[in-house]
Structure 1
Amino acid sequence: MSTTNAPDRLTGRAWAVLLVLCGAIFLEGIDISMMGVALPSIRAELGLTTSELQWVVSAYVLGYGGFVLLGGRAADLLGRRRMFVGWLTVFLVFSGLGGLATEGWMLIVARFITGVAAGFMTPAGLSIITTSYPEGRQRTKALLVYAGIAAAGFSLGMVVGGLLTSIDWRWVFFAPVVLAAVLLPAALVLLPREDSTSAEDAPRTARRFDVPGALILTAAMLLLVATVVRAPDVPKGQTLITLAGGLLLLTAFVQVERRSPAPLIRLGILRNAPLVRANLGAILLVGSFVGFQFIAVLYLQELRHWSELETGLALMVLGIDAVLAPTLTPWLVNRFGVGRVILGGFAVAVAAYALFLPLGADRTYLAMLPTFLLLGLAFALAYGPLTIAATNGVAEEEQGLASGVLTTSFQFGSALGLAAVAAVLAAFDELTHTGLRTALLVPLVAAVLGLLAGAPELARRTARV
């Protein structure tokens, strides 16, 4: 797709294509975060425990994270437009089925398949951007707008989720169906068609798919998350066994990738140090945020007895990242470089979580507001630049792979952060302020680790994009 003759500007059609892709990533972000506000209502109607409740979110992100690498590979070989449109349709269908669930297991299965659909759809969308807009200011602008919309969906979904849940929690599932139904015809009209002969002309081994690798990776992540969630409720020996099983599966995954003629991950790509650092940052950033969201919703709804609508409105200020990501963040990236902006985002996140620690029964909203504002700023600073860091310098034919690796990190981080928080809460007999304060240490420590991991190298990176 031709974007523009001017290196810094996008044409009207380029903006239209970007709008469709941003709509899909907004859908993905809002789908996850709307669920957070709806969880107490889902628990009340379907009779789920705290440990079972977290699987409503974890099933989605693990299906997403487990198949996103295969999705990136499929986008590179079968066509980005084809994968985007096809799996957006699957997303639409199973999101609707989730809203019709009458048992917890039915909802969890629907969420897993919806996550698998997102795992194929999202890397296709991101790789359309990275292959359609030339590297430099034009691609940076497109990626920052894309990431800003994703972050906005992630945060504003809590507000929308509160509004919809106040009507009926099932609308949290039906609303994405409506948005997907609008995006689908627009995608068919606007997304660029690709040369269908490129994959056919490739060597036969290059057209293979590493399905065993995807299954082993998904099983490993499921087992590791289950290990964390169940740790407070089972003997230590069983925890060690399942942990060892998860690590063995990861080892098996590496061996499969080494021997596969068409690996899910070309292990050599992991020698790209900026890509590895970006993915570690993605795990810590999103894991801490999702864990905090779970804590905040339980605190406001189940201990403070706020309504779903009040909770959504209280968390609305997190949506400040929708304004800051496309305005402030590009200027900061151009002025200070990607690495330092990411570092600043983690520093702000540490301050935000620390300020929320003294939560109590009489905590006013004004006392909570600084945390919400700072988290919106932290997400705006870190999310987009992490996307840039993970895709810059990667060959065009592996952009789908790089996008898939990054998305896997985001989703595994979400599941791991949520599982760790749920495990801490499960260690207490009932939901208390003490338990929530203890669980809050999980996102705080994750943000500190992100700060410490990035400080030595990222502070030295002064290159501008």
Structure 2
Amino acid sequence: MTREQRLILAIAALASFVSFLDATVVNVALPAIQRELGGGLATQQWIVDAYLITLGALILVAGSVSDVYGRIRVLVVGLIVFGAASVGIAAAPSPEVLIVARAVQGVGGALLVPSSLALITSNFSGALQARAIGIWTGLTTVASIAGPVVGGVFVDLLSWRFAFLINVLPIAVVIVLIARLHHRDERRPDAHIDVIGALLGTVGLAGLVYALIEQPNLGWGSPVIWITGGVGVVASVVFLVHQLRAREPMLPLALFRVRDFAWGNIATVFIYAALSLSGLVLGVYLQQGAGVAATLAGLASLPATFVMIGLSSRVGAVAGRWGSRLFMTAGPIIAGLGVLLYLLIGRDFEFGRDYWLQLLPGVLVFGIGLTLTVSPLTSAVLGAIEPARSGIASAVNNAISRVAGLVVIAMLAAIIGGELDYDGFRRGVVVSAILLAIGGVVSFLGIRDHRPASVDIAAPRETS
């Protein structure tokens, strides 16, 4: 790599690192937030999902925004919005203010990920591009897993508020690196921002999530639930129809004609829904149910990170020779078995006494399964599409993974039976394991490791 390429990769990786880190920091901070600001399970769901609604709805259109206004400019705006929202979360006097700030933070996060990927795909090519994307994927995955550890330390030693300020330093570093980058920003004068698609996507997700989260409180018979849920369904359907007709769709449905891309994203739905659900129920239950300190709750899953760091590159290399199907089949099923081992946790669990026999085995098996899954899944989805479309293919897969987490967290009350007590924790564990197993079966049935396909994602032109 040239000096400029190394600098671009550092900027792209750190910018995305911020977004992925914060997405998991929140899990370990939820009990402390509840103790200080109040609110029940629904409030905790909204704190997580407010971020995912705006992130999931806008992450695709953000790619077009970066094409119109310039990737570096949009990246800087995203960093500023994300940083300002983080400060707003840290200063929030009530759950309502915190939830609004989380939604704004999701907007910033949506601007960061596509812009950083676009920087990589436009400045790297061939084997060097694959290597750069691999480094980016590895760092963002580590950020997702390490988030609870870092957040737990801040919650215990300082306050949950400081856990949301850990983004400030890396954001400052990225802005300094951008200032040192003598790189002409690239724009596409013919690019089009799908404003209607973004609005429809946001309304659709928000309506569905509101109905799912508030249904346990208001009941299915409530007009509020029926109206918001109905608006969400209608907006989502209109969104899909609009994407079929849009000149430059933010969600190019033509990509799903490619078999491995389509089946890889179906597997993504189940796998990442399970990861979101298991991460939340484990992190929150250890603190609220078992009385474990936030730092220890975060450290509980750290061995899985070490497994990924140690084995990811080797798994990626072997999967490159053997194909992704075997790994995407076995990996989620092994991860699901690891999650099932969480059922060894007893009602009187004490971290120092019981961690080694009741929790560590599951964490290690889960880490092995996740390692076998993540890199091959990314390779299958991106490898199914020609390199010129890898940016939008990755953005679609990223958005689908976030929306999967969004929906499963919205359904949390129904999954755990209304309360995250010991029995609710065990229900969440079983559902997570089932979702992972389904992800493995879907991969076995669908993935064929085909060569990259060329796809025309533009809407068909009308002829007179």
Fold shared, TM-score > 0.5 on shorter chain: yes
Is 2:208 aligned against 1:220? no
Larger RCO: 1 or 2 (CA < 8 Å, sep 6+): 1
Give the match for residue 410 of structure 1: 401
Separation in structure 2 between the aligned mates of residue 384 and residue 234 of structure 1, nearest angstrom: 42
* Structure 1 position 381 matched with structure 2 position 369: no
The CA deviation at 1:85 is 2.2
Deviation at 1:324, TM superposition (A): 3.5
Matched, 1:461 2:445: no
Aligned pair partner of 1:275 in 257, 261, 286: 261
Indicate which of 43, 51, 64 corresponds to 1:73: 64
Instruction: Identify which range, 147-156 or 231-240, moves more after superposition.
Output: 231-240
CA contact (8 A) 1:278 1:389 kept: yes
Is structure 2 residue 321 aligned with structure 1 residue 331?
Answer: no
Q: Is the 8 A contact 2:64 2:192 kept in 1?
A: no
Instruction: Give the drift of 1:456.
Output: 1.7
Structure 2 residue runs of 5 or longer lacking an equivalent are: 453-464
Match of 1:6 in 2: none
Do 1:161 and 1:172's aligned partners in 2 also have CA atoms closer than 8 Å?
yes
Q: Secondary structure at the match of 1:306?
A: coil
Percent identical across equivalent pairs? Answer: 26
Superposed, which structure 2 residues align to 1:318-357 within 5 Å?
Answer: 318-320=304-306, 322-324=308-310, 326-357=312-343
> 2:341, 2:362 within 8 Å by CA — same for their partners in 1?
yes
Tell me the amino acid that sits aligned with residue 173 of structure 1.
F
1:26 to 3, 8, 17: 17
1:282 partner amino acid: T
2:431 is aligned with 1:447: no
Following the alignment from structure 2 to structure 1, what is the Cα–Cα distance between the partners of residues 118 and 370? Answer: 22
Paired residues in the alignment total 444
Relative distance call for 1:123 and 1:346 in structure 2 (3 A) is same
Counterpart-to-counterpart distance in 2, 1:294 and 1:256: 34
Report the secondary structure of 1:361's partner residue.
Answer: coil
1:261 Cα deviation from its structure 2 partner: 3.3
1:7-28 deviation line (CA, Å, top 9, x unaligned) = xxx4454333222222122211
2:294 pairs with 1:308: yes
Q: How far did 1:322 drift?
A: 4.8
Partner of 2:422: 433
Shift, 1:125, TM fit: 0.8
Q: Summarize the Cα distance change of 1:339–1:353 in structure 2 as closer, same or farther, 3 Å threshold.
A: same
Residue identity in the other structure for 2:136: Y
Evaluate the alpha carbon distance shift between residue 99 and residue 285 of structure 1 in structure 2; reply closer, same or farther with a 3 A threshold: same
Q: Residue 92 of structure 1 contacts residue 181 of structure 1 at CA under 8 Å; is this kept in 2?
A: no
**Partners of 2:118 and 2:325 in 1: CA distance:** 22
Q: Give the drift of 1:240.
A: 6.2
Where 2:411 maps in the other structure, the secondary structure is helix
Within the candidate set 102, 105, 115, 1:124 is matched to 115
The yes-or-no answer on 1:114 pairing with 2:102 is no
Give the distance between the partners of 1:394 and 1:295, measured in 2 at CA: 35
TM-aligned CA deviation for residue 242 of structure 1? 4.8
CA contact (8 A) 1:339 1:462 kept: no
Q: Provide the C-alpha distance between the structure 1 equivalents of 2:130 and 2:206, rounded to a whole number of angstroms.
A: 34
Listed one character per residue, the Cα deviations across residues 261-283 of structure 1 (whole Å, up to 9, x for unaligned) are 33323332232222222322222
Write out per-residue CA displacement over residues 240-263 of structure 1, whole angstroms, 9 at most, x where no aligned residue.
Answer: 665444322211112222343333
User: Could you tell me how far 1:321 is from its partner in structure 2?
Assistant: 5.0
Give the drift of 1:156. 0.7
Tell me which amino acid in the other structure corresponds to 1:96: V
- TM-aligned CA distance change 1:329 to 1:139, over 3 Å: farther
Distance in 2 separating the partners of 1:328 and 1:414? 28
Is the contact made by 1:318 and 1:373 (CA closer than 8 Å) also made in structure 2? Answer: yes
Gap change, CA 1:328 and 1:231, over 3 Å in 2: farther
The equivalences for 1:175-214 within 5 A come to 175-190=166-181, 192-196=183-187, 199-200=188-189, 202=190, 207-214=191-198
TM-score (norm. length: structure 2): 0.88
Contact 1:68/1:123 (<8 A) preserved: yes
User: CA separation in 2, counterparts of 1:432 and 1:160?
Assistant: 25
CA–CA distance in 1 between the matches of 2:147 and 2:182?
A: 26
Say whether 1:285 aligns with 2:274: no
Residue 462 of structure 1, CA deviation = 7.8
Mean CA deviation greater in 400-409 or 149-158: 400-409
Task: Assess, with a 3 A threshold, how the Cα gap between structure 1 residues 329 and 140 changes in structure 2: closer, same or farther.
Answer: farther
Tell me, what secondary structure is at the counterpart of 1:152? Answer: helix
Task: Give 1:447's aligned amino acid.
Answer: L
Of 206, 226, 241, which residue of structure 2 is paired with 1:255?
241
**Secondary structure of residue in 2 paired with 1:175:** coil
| Unmatched 5+ stretches in structure 1 | 1-9
Q: 1:35 to 1:101 in 2, by over 3 A?
A: same
1:312 and 1:55 mapped to 2: Cα distance? 21
C-alpha separation between the residues in 1 aligned to 2:182 and 2:257? 33
